[in-house]
Structure 1
């Protein structure tokens, strides 16, 4: 019989946003303590963890302080100093997913090249270190331009349907890829343990807010044939196995009108497409990630109930201290579960929380999600 001293592990989390917050909550459930590194005092994850190092994700001394004070280090954001983490890993510190995997995925171009090298189907692309209208025309419209570095939550992506959209181009080193007129956009969360064991969550369907490239509505399970869902899960596992690393990975895909599955992007962290697992699955993605990185057995990914999830975004034109409207009305709807992230200030389209709606019928869950979206508004005190 295994015997564990408490706390089971002291986990360092680079990044103090909502993903770190939900990870810190899960850590407490399984007997782990957390230390958060984030530049904002009292960040969402720091509020829950209780111990925060205030500092930049790119400060080598702060990253070293975190690594030396914890048993294992992980992250909730990709835009961090991977080179320092690689050095710390070489010195023997436990960092998962591996910093080498993080470094590869941080750059959208090296990520794409790795997918192609592994035989993973993806949209045709080419490097564009100096974007220009002439280069776009030579590649051909419609196209998607992605900044190689720093893109997150819809930022760093421009969809150009023709020369008339060239004013939207991003003036940074990029890649361009074929625009895929997808039948659906899907995601699969894959967990991989220290022993190589892997578990796959059921395929989900993602609907994005037009023009903002940010997830608006998620349906779990995806409304697709069972054989397509199974193929998506196999492709996601192949992708993660090819990349290596330990922890949770979010694999985003396109399902084309011809029934082909193409991997869009891979995130080496817990993912917005897995938030519903907190209520809807036996083991949620946050606990699963922690199990993986500390060497505990991976949990069941079985989904107990259909679910829909919406992001709660800051209202357009609103800034300052958050003010939430419609919360009581939303909570009066059976199956509604609200998560607020504890962010001190709102901004237009900033993720301020999410709502999961459980129902025995996925169509009803979606309908109730649409009602909740209309009920809840997060505005700001500074708005006139």
Structure 2
């Protein structure tokens, strides 16, 4: 029995792969109806911070994992000390939850990162002036999908600083944003996925992804090496999403680490020998890792919610007329603007054709709310 803290789309896609391998699923989520519910043997309704509910999940599970970072790490640390298997380790989660600690840990490990400083809430403006603009503010805790990030380009914009304990980071002149998924098992064996390039929308949510990234082979190898170094520094077990910047001068710098399946790895379901979700299940249950080879180029884009209310999918029939199109609708019960309601992957031996089809399908398929 695999216990998953979080019942969203990542948990759903984990559960789909776990089911293929014969594992049971127990889940903790605050929503009565969540994407993974239809695949779960046991559903516990409760907060991600509810220590008692997390303990209840651990007691009926053989191994614990999670699809979200903002959970009660102290209880998970207690459970791990008591002998409950938790992957990735809550000690890693504790590092990742605090962006300042995350960067300090990576700096100590010799991972190339942007310059940064600590800036507590009561000294934000002073620290920002001292650090110099342009800069990027990242709140130490709670940021997700572009939330908790402010870009300050001039001193006139200092009033846009978010009033909370933060990390100030240099503004990197970016050529591309890239990412690598890395899987590591309990024996330290590693599988590295190809480098992908990501384009973000104005809300800083991943708009579309191209696999493989259109970059030089030397840079791709460097990015993969950095990603492996990150996961080994954390002594991680499971799948990890390593987001990086490729600067205009050709430097590769770490941006952030996700200790779980990641949006930038969704393309692996159709395009790779082993999906990121199966890889995670293999790693946390002690099975050998699968081959991470890219079988066919792919383009992936998120389907974001429009409006409010119960979801209604538009354009599915027309979208699926195109060859190589795979639609994933997550089954979330309520639509909100910019909420991730699904994703689409387009595969084609010709990456240019995959991009062309993806751009067409992106205009066709929508998930809208039924409220006016």
Q: TM-score, normalised by structure 1?
A: 0.95
Superposed CA deviations along residues 247-286 of structure 1, whole A, max 9, x for unmatched, are 0111000011111110010110000000010111110000
Superposed CA deviations along residues 82-103 of structure 1, whole A, max 9, x for unmatched, are 0100000000000000011110
Task: Answer whether contact 1:144 1:157 (CA < 8 A) is retained.
Answer: yes
Shifted more, 322-331 versus 335-344: the winner is: 322-331
**Other-structure match for 1:163:** 155
Unaligned runs of 5+ in 2: none
2:47 to 28, 51, 56: 56
1:111 to 102, 123, 131: 102
CA distance in 1, matches of 2:259, 2:124: 31
Task: Answer whether contact 2:24 2:41 (CA < 8 A) is retained.
Answer: no
Residue 222 (structure 2) pairs with residue 227 (structure 1): no
2:276 to 267, 285, 293: 285
Shifted more, 156-165 versus 250-259: the winner is: 156-165
CA distance in 2, matches of 1:367, 1:162: 38
Deviation of 1:50 (Å): 4.0
**Other-structure match for 1:6:** none
Residue 346 (structure 2) pairs with residue 357 (structure 1): yes
Shifted more, 355-364 versus 132-141: the winner is: 132-141
CA distance in 1, matches of 2:317, 2:168: 45
Q: Secondary structure at the match of 1:183?
A: strand
1:43 to 34, 45, 48: 34
2:138 to 140, 146, 152: 146
Deviation of 1:189 (Å): 0.4
Q: Secondary structure at the match of 1:346?
A: coil
The 4+ residue runs of structure 1 with deviation greater than 6 A are: none
CA distance in 2, matches of 1:45, 1:156: 27
Residue 320 (structure 2) pairs with residue 331 (structure 1): yes
Q: TM-score, normalised by structure 2?
A: 0.98
Q: Secondary structure at the match of 1:184?
A: strand
Superposed CA deviations along residues 276-323 of structure 1, whole A, max 9, x for unmatched, are 1011111000000010011000000011100000000012xx111112
CA distance in 1, matches of 2:43, 2:338: 26
Residue 7 (structure 2) pairs with residue 16 (structure 1): yes
Task: Answer whether contact 1:133 1:163 (CA < 8 A) is retained.
Answer: no
Q: Secondary structure at the match of 2:174?
A: coil
